[in-house]
């Protein structure tokens, strides 16, 4: 192979690496969408478990099949739901935690939700849980829109960075 062939192969590799790097950055935003969606689905299952199946709160949280809600249920031993959420919060938002991509306002809303769980009658609990599911649905929609925009942006920026390096190489 002559020098130009090597340079062209290296330029193509840099371009592809830049595009792959941009795609990887976009994937982080899609992780937020997955976490919020999973939590919303868990709250919807919690509603069924509490109000239709009439399961005790700790069992309803575990049966909701959401890693975040299960973790809170595990922390309920001798605690009310709000205290259990506070005890679980560090593990929930840890780097690999089930809510690692949630932001402060969303975590505060979850804290308020857990502060109200099990503290009133079925009708009020239904309203509280429905409001939480609707809020999570709105957050999910905003996160999905933002993730799509950023995935395109990061993909394009990565490709352009790779091309710029390729041009510098040539």
pLDDT digits (tens, 9 = 90+) for 101-127: 888 878 888 888 999 998 888 899 999
What residue segments make up the domains of the chain, in order of their start? 3-169
pLDDT > 70: percent of the chain: 94
Does 46 score more than 90 pLDDT?
yes
Please give the Cα distance from 151 to 143 (Å, whole number). Answer: 12
Report the pLDDT value the prediction gives residue 149, as an integer from 0 to 100.
Answer: 84
State the pLDDT at residue 156: 74
**C-beta atoms surrounding 94 within 10 Å:** 11
Distance between first and last Cα of the chain: 16
Give residue-wise pLDDT tens across range 63-81.
998 999 999 999 999 999 9
Tell me, what's the pLDDT at 170?
66
Q: How many C-beta neighbours within 10 Å does residue 124 have? A: 11
Structure-model confidence comparison of residues 52 and 20, the more confident one? 52
Whole-prediction pTM value? 0.76
Task: List, for residues 85-103, the tens digit of each pLDDT value.
Answer: 999 999 999 988 998 888 8
Q: Out of 26-35, 39-48, 118-127, 155-164, which region has the weakest mean confidence (pLDDT)?
A: 155-164
44-61: average pLDDT: 93
Looking at the predicted structure, is the pLDDT value of residue 84 above 70?
yes
């Amino acid at each position: 192979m002559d020098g130009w062939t090597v340079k062209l192969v290296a330029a193509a590799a840099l371009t592809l690496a830049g595009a792959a790097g941009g795609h990887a950055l976009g994937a982080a935003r899609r992780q937020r969408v997955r976490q919020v969606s999973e939590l919303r689905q868990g709250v919807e299952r919690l509603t069924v478990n509490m109000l239709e199946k009439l399961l005790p709160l700790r069992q309803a949280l575990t049966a909701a099949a959401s890693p975040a809600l299960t973790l809170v249920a595990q922390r309920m031993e001798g605690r009310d739901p709000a205290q259990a959420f506070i005890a679980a919060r560090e593990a929930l938002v840890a780097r690999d935690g089930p809510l690692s991509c949630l932001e402060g306002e969303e975590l505060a809303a979850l804290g308020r939700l857990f502060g109200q769980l099990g503290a009133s009658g079925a009708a009020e609990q239904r309203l509280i849980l429905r409001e939480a599911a609707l809020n999570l649905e709105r957050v999910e929609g905003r996160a999905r829109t933002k993730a799509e925009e950023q995935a395109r942006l990061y993909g394009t920026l990565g490709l352009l960075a790779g091309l710029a390096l390729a041009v510098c190489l040539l």
